[in-house]
Structure 1
Amino acid sequence: MKRIITFITVLISIVAFSQEVDKQQLLALKKSNNYVYEANTLINKDDFISAEMEYRKAISEKPSTVAGTYNLGNAYYTSGNFEEALYRHQQAAQAATSKPEKHKAFHNIGNILMQNKKCKEAVEAYKNALRNDPTDDETRYNLGLAKICAEQQQDQQDQNKDEDKKDENKENQDQKKNEENKDKEGDNKEDKKDEGDQEKKEGEDEKDDEGKPKDEKEDKGKPDEEKKDQQKPKPQPGQLSPQQIKNLLEAMNNQEQKVQEKINAEKQKGVKVKTEKDW
């Protein structure tokens, strides 16, 4: 009997506690809705800063409220803060318990993603919105635009990949060509080195056992007169050698002597010999 009484007492306490919790939740929901209403009024007056504060109060009072999070996301979207708007609508989509609420949240998520040029992700968001409300023509229209945008972006990505591949192939070809040129330069240097070594070797071969050039060896076997003649400076074109000048002077002296002798002979013929008889 005591056990039954105890059980009933506990049951009554649980019911009373549950009622108290429900009462607090209802009070929090009421306060949250009042903040949302006030924020909506401020938004209509273009007072975004004050409206944002009221929306935040609504979320703080009832974190699971969809209206406060959803409307705050819309306010951010209107002000151009797409990053914060996306975050708030994702919160609303997770907190939503009804299909209409989910549909609205995913629809707006799709719009935000389109603004951020994330067309592929926007396609998925619009699909989720249509799963919760297949009759919304606006969502269906936006889905079509998102698909076209996603295809264009994919084509552009493929084109960029092809261009990057071409550039990479060109770089590889240029690098290969440079390596081939370097190899050719190395071969040319080796050839020149071999030629220099060969010339050096040939020059060394021309020397005798004493390391003297052949010309010196051959000069040893020549007469001294030939060596002197070879050592005499050779006359330049248009000039007389010292020996030629000497021979010319001797010839001139001989010729002058002959002329002088002839003149003297002529003088002797023309002179009359005096007689000893007087006139």
Structure 2
Amino acid sequence: MKIFLNILVICLMLFSSKEITAQKDSIAQQRKARKMVRQGNKLYEQKQFTDASVAYQKALGNNASYDKASYNLGNALYQNKNFKEAAPQYELSAKTAEDKSSKAEAYHNLGNSMMETKNYQAAVDAYKNSLRNNPNDDETRYNLAVAQKLLDKQNKDNKDNKDNKNKDNKDKKDKDNKDKDDKNKDKDKKDGDDDKDKKDKDDKDKDGKGDKDKDKKQDPNKDDKKDQKHKPKPQQGKMSPQQIKQLLESLNNEEKKTQKKMNAKKAKGKKIKQEKDW
């Protein structure tokens, strides 16, 4: 039992020693953090905002919940126009601040950072949070009114842009559909014209062939006659006077013979007038 009590006492002493050491380290870090903040403030007053930012970051490295360090770091970044980097520092300061006045100031500056980045919705929210902690701050109330007005304008512009974009898309779609319809109509018209031309050609070929067949049917010897028409006729040979005399005598003799035969048959039938073929 005595041994157990001794061990317990030793453990308590060790724990107390560590706790005391931790407390001493924490106090040392807090002192160092405050020292870095004071150094940063001097640099800030000299408008050496970059160096001041480094000092404030070192202070936060020793004490992460040091709201004055985060608030001042936000201010230094804001002065260097690093508005996006300043915003989270103000948010941290607003969360760690112990009094409402400090919270109100952090939210007010957060709203200013959001205004600079044109994030008007976040600015409105920040100014409202600032007024919840300090309702009597007229400057914050004025900034809230400006932020709300800019937010309304931004929303209206976004809506108009969206409507215009939708209208442009609709007009483009309608135009594409119209062009497509016109193209189809032109294609249909061209196909119709081609079909008509083809039909006319077929009809023409058919008519031409029909006329040709018809002509051939009506006069199958037309081509032969045409050929004969253009065939040269044989020229009659010239006869001498003696040949002509002999020919006439021969004809007279033939005529006499024929007359005798006709007279012989006269009683048998009516005489048929014979036409000469020469």
Matched residue type, 1:175: D
Counterpart contact for 1:207–1:214, Cα < 8 Å? no
Matched residue type, 1:58: A
Counterpart contact for 1:89–1:106, Cα < 8 Å? yes
In the superposition, the TM-score normalised over structure 1's length comes to 0.71
Aligned to 2:179: 178
Identity across the alignment (%): 33
- 1:11 deviates by 3.1
Matched residue type, 1:26: I
Aligned to 2:71: 70
Matched residue type, 2:15: I
C-alpha separation between the residues in 2 aligned to 1:69 and 1:43? Answer: 14
- 1:226 deviates by 7.1
C-alpha separation between the residues in 2 aligned to 1:115 and 1:8? Answer: 61
C-alpha separation between the residues in 1 aligned to 2:144 and 2:88? Answer: 21
C-alpha separation between the residues in 1 aligned to 2:143 and 2:104? Answer: 13
Count the aligned residue pairs. 229
Q: CA RMSD in A?
A: 2.9
Counterpart contact for 1:109–1:122, Cα < 8 Å? yes
Deviations 1:188-232 (A, max 9, x none): 1221122122123213323559x9665677675448787899x9x
Which residues of structure 2 form unaligned runs of 5+? 231-278
Aligned to 1:19: 20
Aligned to 2:257: none
Distance 1:201 1:7, change over 3 A: same
5 Å-filtered alignment, 1:108-123, equals 108-123=109-124
5 Å-filtered alignment, 1:116-131, equals 116-131=117-132
Deviations 1:211-257 (A, max 9, x none): 9665677675448787899x9xxxxxxxxxxxxxxxxxxxxxxxxxx
Deviations 1:140-192 (A, max 9, x none): 22222211111111111111111112112211210111111011112112211
Indicate the SS of the match to 2:126: helix
Counterpart contact for 2:123–2:147, Cα < 8 Å? yes
In the superposition, the TM-score normalised over structure 2's length comes to 0.71
- 1:57 deviates by 2.1
Counterpart contact for 2:112–2:123, Cα < 8 Å? yes
Distance 1:82 1:208, change over 3 A: closer
Indicate the SS of the match to 1:206: helix
Aligned to 1:106: 107
- 1:89 deviates by 2.1
